[in-house]
Structure 1
């Protein structure tokens, strides 16, 4: 049997007209033929352009709405308004899949340990003039929020996400954003428990050790010491992960249930 005949025996799904129309509009949004905030042509015009019925156009709208690429309002002044692709969808789908796979919080911390040291090196090489001010601002806010567990967790997590953003890699930027929410929730949980287990003196002393390590990274980046920045941040992440995961390596679904 030829390869062609073998393939021919498989069922082939032909896309519906609504799917093809939605695909065309998606392409126009991605290529910026259609700009954010722009109205799509009236339904009647789209029906004529694509040679389809009104229900087909509305089904295409529903496909685009599900991807948050348009929002549709009815009425005389209504229409379909174009939106830029929403990065939050990446986070939601990643968390959905990883929740189903019963991924643990440690998976996120291990991913961060793989990504961030290399990004510290990249930032020192490429963004030594702009990155220090951004990271220093976050560090300053962390010191102000050290007594507020949830706010402190949020600013600490922001520092790590910003480090990856400053590296300028679009793919890693969205991966870091997907990790951000889980790690933020987890850190808030761990910090709350540490505040209960430790007296204030010990808790704040331990926090200060971490903040000094953040400051050292900023200085290394500012001085363009890329090798040292990478090595320092690798050590920092390894030590920090031991603290964050010591008692709380739980499935991410349990984490969300815990904080609802």
Structure 2
């Protein structure tokens, strides 16, 4: 029979109390000495439990007189980080990433058209302005592209979808940062598509937002995969 470690037991208890709202965001957990007194566990066990919570992103430990273990409730960045680890750890193929985006992002655009605010539109317009600057580097273009797609997901006001799209967009960026198909024509095509989708979101035209986003991400996926296939069948000539 496997007996759980005392530090795991304490970490589980504190985790449940944090998630249940007993310790609100930004509050400080009881000091180590108080936890030792309350739990009758050793200081080493308490510190190990706190380290577990820190790794899980549920607390942030600050040193010094005004320090302590500050509660940090999970947010969309927490979800994005966990998904990014899964994508990298399992070495998810680019094809799968693009297929997933085609399945998810049109619905993000639909929700954005229904739920967007003026602040959301400002973020989309800012990304559109930046992506149209053709003198920028490839890295600039790809980062601005990520910013725009995340802004669409943010405008959906669905935290799960936003966290998911943050991880997905970043992974696609990393997988395509050396792709040769991203030229001036591709940039202009992306800029036009983004403006068109943004207009549908601004007009609260959910049907148009879905249709235009589906066409945009599908065309992008096709272009990426064509480059991958071309490079895969290229045979060195021995020179």
Q: What is the TM-score normalised by the length of structure 1?
A: 0.76
- Aligned partners of 2:76 and 2:115: how far apart in 1? 25
Moved more, 19-28 or 168-177: 19-28
- Aligned partners of 1:79 and 1:209: how far apart in 2? 51
Q: 1:101 to 1:61 in 2, by over 3 A?
A: closer
Match of 1:205 among 185, 188, 204: 185
Q: 1:230 to 1:146 in 2, by over 3 A?
A: farther
- Aligned partners of 1:217 and 1:246: how far apart in 2? 24
- Aligned partners of 1:174 and 1:218: how far apart in 2? 20
Structure 1, unaligned runs of 5 or more: 1-10, 196-202, 250-260
- Aligned partners of 1:87 and 1:118: how far apart in 2? 18
Partner of 1:56: 45
Partner of 1:219: 199
Q: Is 1:30 paired with 2:19? A: yes
- Aligned partners of 2:77 and 2:111: how far apart in 1? 25
Q: 1:180 to 1:15 in 2, by over 3 A?
A: same
What is the deviation of 1:156? 1.0
Moved more, 126-135 or 228-237: 126-135
CA contact (8 A) 2:76 2:160 kept: no
Partner of 1:253: none
Q: Residues 57-89 of structure 1: CA distance to partner in whole angstroms, max 9, x if unpaired?
A: 122122223223334466777643333436555
- Aligned partners of 1:89 and 1:128: how far apart in 2? 24
Partner secondary structure for residue 111 of structure 2: helix
Partner of 1:3: none
Aligned residues: 229
Q: Residues 86-138 of structure 1: CA distance to partner in whole angstroms, max 9, x if unpaired?
A: 65554444344344544211211111111111121121122265543321111
What RMSD, in angstroms, separates the aligned Cα atoms of the two structures? Answer: 2.7
Q: What is the TM-score normalised by the length of structure 2?
A: 0.82
Partner of 1:254: none
- The higher radius of gyration belongs to 1
Partner secondary structure for residue 112 of structure 1: helix
Partner of 1:230: 210
Structure 2, unaligned runs of 5 or more: 230-239
Q: Is 1:173 paired with 2:153? A: no
CA contact (8 A) 2:108 2:161 kept: no
